[in-house]
Amino acid sequence: MAGMSKWFAKCSDWAPTVLRVVLGIVFIAHGYGKLWGGAPGMEAFTGMVVGLGMPAFMAYVAAIVEFFGGILVLLGLFTRYAATLIGIVMLVAIFRAKWGMPLVGGYELDLALLAIAVALMLSGPGKLSLEATIFKKEW
């Protein structure tokens, strides 16, 4: 067991990296699908956003945050800012689009993605990031 504890201690630097990669890939894929085709596409997404009582331009804001925020998070560059914007998108998704639905089959994915975004807001990108390399920050 002592060997496992040492191994886990050595691997703790990887935690933000794992979170960044997962969150980044998910949001790049969702943003890309909205901006450049795929399900549901920008037209359908804009219709959904307008149907929720928000202005149409908010669909574009959300899609841009998803795609470019996902890239920044994946690279570990301006991670806290990008994760904050992604967290806001998730809060809007939960409280405007999915509130009142059951947790399972409703907003559980959004809640998990929000938790990852908050974790990255609190921890920063970690040692294995462009931010650490470029700005010589210690995480």
The mean pLDDT value of the chain amounts to: 93
pLDDT of residue 102: 87
- Whether pTM exceeds 0.85: yes
Q: How do residues 20-76 score in pLDDT, each as one tens digit?
A: 999 999 999 999 999 998 767 899 999 999 999 999 999 999 999 999 999 999 999
**Look-up: residue for tokens 């890239």?**
71
The 3-state DSSP class for residue 83 equals helix
- Residues 65/68/71/77 CA torsion (nearest 10 deg): -90
CA distance 114 to 122: 12
**Look-up: residue for tokens 């938790």?**
115
CA distance 1 to 4: 5
Q: Are 139 and 127 in contact (CB under 8 A)?
A: yes
